[in-house]
Structure 1
Amino acid sequence: MTGDIPPIHDRAVEAVAALLERERLMSVATNRPDGWPQVTTVGYIAEGLRLYFVIARKSQKFRNLQADPRMSAAVRAGHGPAGDAVGVSFAGLAEEVVEPAAVERLNQQVIARFPDVHIYCPGDDSVAVMAFSPSIVTAVSVIGGRSHAETFSIGDPPGSTRSPETVLF
């Protein structure tokens, strides 16, 4: 699937990582059991191009990811003075972070990034910390009303058997 998509280069990694650091919310698309996609918005933190987010264990999104870890995400920056915008979309795999030390480290990052953390967290007491490792990245700019996109591959394609933990950024 990614054979004809060029690998991401350092300049693109830096630009996408900078965008992820500036923004706070991403749209997450998962696959429902009936085949229909489901899109929701979540707060996230980023470590390079790897994204982490929290979801309620009782949510449809959590059930979707447990059944099918393939996920797409999109992050969009605000408009510039001329209506210009930039954004990025991803396709990859999500998995729950279960290692207690990793969960605590991520919790501290969430608290630092989101002082009003309750705004971005599920209302349910039982939550899951999820890690999203993209395999495909599409950087998009909108300049003068025209979209310009560039797509890159990272590691293995979505749906591969390689664990997201082994994708290196």
Structure 2
Amino acid sequence: MKHEIQRKMVEILERCMDMTIATIRSDGSPQATVVSFVHDGLLLYFGCGAGSQKAMNISRDPRVSVAMTAPYQNWLEIKGLSIAATATEVVAPSELTEVGGLMLRRFPQISAIQPTEAAPVKLFKVRPTIVSVLDYSLGFGHTDLVKIEAGDIAETLDSMRHHWLASAVVTS
């Protein structure tokens, strides 16, 4: 995958706080819901109620679709992502800890929620397979369609972690 498109996708992810995720109900009809999310490179993570329709839909069929648009003032500034992906529950303790850290950094207000106030939650990882990158600054309706391979995700993770390490050194 081209580094320029990878950078553009990550920049859009950084600018978006919420995404709409569509899952598949047991009768085959779609269910779309807005959720807040964090990301590690091109991997997206979100939490939802353990007994929610969304969690049940994903446990039955991991295919999901995600859409997000960064804030804009006029149509010629629209940048967004439309993603075909698979979602899986995060269960590994190390990954749960890592995702928890990402969530605390992006949404520090969650540290004020007491465990007794919180309903049981499941965390999900969303792994993109096809991404439509919208960038209307390149022309009204402009999109680039990108197929995401496992190596693309690994490459983006490495570059993001290197970037975070560099910023941590600068700010310390």
Q: Same fold (TM over 0.5)?
A: yes
Partner of 2:147: 153
**From 126, 140, 144, the counterpart of 1:132:** 126
Unaligned runs of 5+ in 1: 1-7, 157-166
Partner of 2:66: 73
User: Would you tell me which structure has more helix in proportion to its own residues?
Assistant: 2
Partner of 1:142: 136
Q: Write the distance in 2 (CA, Å) between the matches of 1:154 and 1:83.
A: 26
Matches within 5 A, 1:86-125: 86-117=79-110, 125=119
Partner of 2:37: 44
Q: Write the distance in 1 (CA, Å) between the matches of 2:66 and 2:138.
A: 25
Identify the range of structure 1 (57-66 vs 98-107) with the bigger mean alpha-carbon deviation: 98-107
Task: Report deviation, 1:89.
Answer: 0.9
User: Would you tell me which structure has more strand in proportion to its own residues?
Assistant: 1
Q: Write the distance in 1 (CA, Å) between the matches of 2:68 and 2:75.
A: 20
Percent identity, aligned pairs only, is 31
What's the TM-score once normalised by structure 1's chain length? 0.80
Identify the range of structure 1 (147-156 vs 41-50) with the bigger mean alpha-carbon deviation: 147-156
Task: Report deviation, 1:9.
Answer: 1.6
Partner of 1:20: 13
Unaligned runs of 5+ in 2: 112-116, 156-172
> Secondary structure of 2:100's partner?
helix
Partner of 1:161: none
Q: Write the distance in 2 (CA, Å) between the matches of 1:83 and 1:146.
A: 6
Give the AA of the match of 1:25: D
